Amino acid sequence: MNCYAGIDFGGMSVKVGLFDDRANLLTKLSAATSKEDGYAATVEKTVQTVRGACAKAGVPAAQLAAVGMGTPGVIDGENGIVVRWTNYGWEDKPFAADLEKGLGVPVRVTNDANAAALGEAKFGAGKKYKSSILLTLGTGIGSGIVLDGKLFEGTCGGGAEAGHMVIESGGVPCPCGRRGCFEQYASATALIRDTKRAMFENKNSALWRIAGTPENVDGRTAFLAAREGDAAARKVVDTFVQYLADGIANLVALFRPEAILLGGGISGEGEALLAPLRRRVGERLYVDAARIPLALVRAALGNDAGIWGAYALVCG
């Protein structure tokens, strides 16, 4: 039996899923990562975590056939190179080739958001659909595009960055250097910022009772208060949904996927988010959903989407 490792590499941890060739997840193993470790030690730690996962599952090293990996940054998947990852200060690192040296098997790499999208498309909420786009609403907006079952990464992996589409010209500054990017309005960070602002502007809002203090505001706070009918919270949620709908409608106009999948903590709101979002997206479609169906659903694999997608890179 051949086995495959799917790696979700991140700034805080490296997570390895070990799979057989029938898409059974045999075991998972994680280790902490840190910028301070430096590149060479990080490669070695990743190799050791893959070996550790094999040992944990009782799989001899000789049965490991290939390794897939999702990692942050701009990733040239064809050449296995981390072109740029600003958080770790990495430029042009041959991560795939260095892991191949350590593990003795082929390694394929893509961007972490792409890996999550591929995981959802092949094994999660998107498996009924040929084409789907995953938007993960978190600190920013992670996005991955799967068209006709294949990842669309753009030249040298530089595409599929939906979080940096401008949806408000001259709007909120973004670390990417532009203003008014999608993720400045429709990420969890943006929702939390706007919820706090609404609290300060509305001293009698239920937001105060629910959060206690502004520091306690999270992605659920505005939804909880809106459910109680709080006007300030409803406005925050409605504005958030409008911006999210603008970005989604742009993506639908370009790619017309069969499904948009939403991940990240906010997607846990389920229909409280999805029902108004479907309505708002529907108002913005170039070709309406009665003519060309469009599913708008919650992602299914949660934090494991990355390891499933990394597995799909080498054993689709």
Site of interaction with Zn ion (CB under 5 A): 164, 174, 176, 181
Question: Residue 135 forms beta bridges with which residues?
Answer: 143, 262
Residue 132: CA count within 13 A, CB half-sphere? 31
DSSP string, 233-276: HHHHHHHHHHHHHHHHHHHHHHH--SEEEEESGGGGGTHHHHHH
* CA dist., res. 102 & res. 313, Å (int): 19
What letter would DSSP give residue 156? G
We find the least distance from the C-beta atom of residue 38 to Zn ion, in angstroms, to be: 28
What letter would DSSP give residue 201? H
Check: CB of residue 211 under 8 Å from CB of residue 233: no
We find the least distance from the C-beta atom of residue 93 to Zn ion, in angstroms, to be: 23
Q: Which is nearer to Zn ion, 109 or 141 (CB)?
A: 141
Question: Residue 27 forms beta bridges with which residues?
Answer: 18
Q: Which is nearer to Zn ion, 84 or 227 (CB)?
A: 84
We find the least distance from the C-beta atom of residue 84 to Zn ion, in angstroms, to be: 15
Q: Which is nearer to Zn ion, 240 or 311 (CB)?
A: 240
We find the least distance from the C-beta atom of residue 176 to Zn ion, in angstroms, to be: 3
Q: Which is nearer to Zn ion, 225 or 244 (CB)?
A: 244
Q: Which residue has the tokens 């990842």?
A: 151
Q: Which is nearer to Zn ion, 130 or 164 (CB)?
A: 164
Residues 79-108 as b/e (b if ≥16 CB within 10 A, e otherwise) read: ebbbbbbeebebeebbbbebbbebbebebb
We find the least distance from the C-beta atom of residue 189 to Zn ion, in angstroms, to be: 12
Pairing of strands 64-71, 107-111: parallel
Q: Which is nearer to Zn ion, 174 or 295 (CB)?
A: 174
Among the listed residues 264, 184, 269, the one whose alpha carbon sits nearest the alpha carbon of residue 221: 269
We find the least distance from the C-beta atom of residue 308 to Zn ion, in angstroms, to be: 27
176: phi then psi, degrees, rounded to nearest 5: -75, -10
> % helix / strand / coil in the chain, to the nearest 5?
45, 25, 30
We find the least distance from the C-beta atom of residue 136 to Zn ion, in angstroms, to be: 15
Q: Which is nearer to Zn ion, 181 or 244 (CB)?
A: 181
Q: Which is nearer to Zn ion, 108 or 178 (CB)?
A: 178
We find the least distance from the C-beta atom of residue 267 to Zn ion, in angstroms, to be: 21
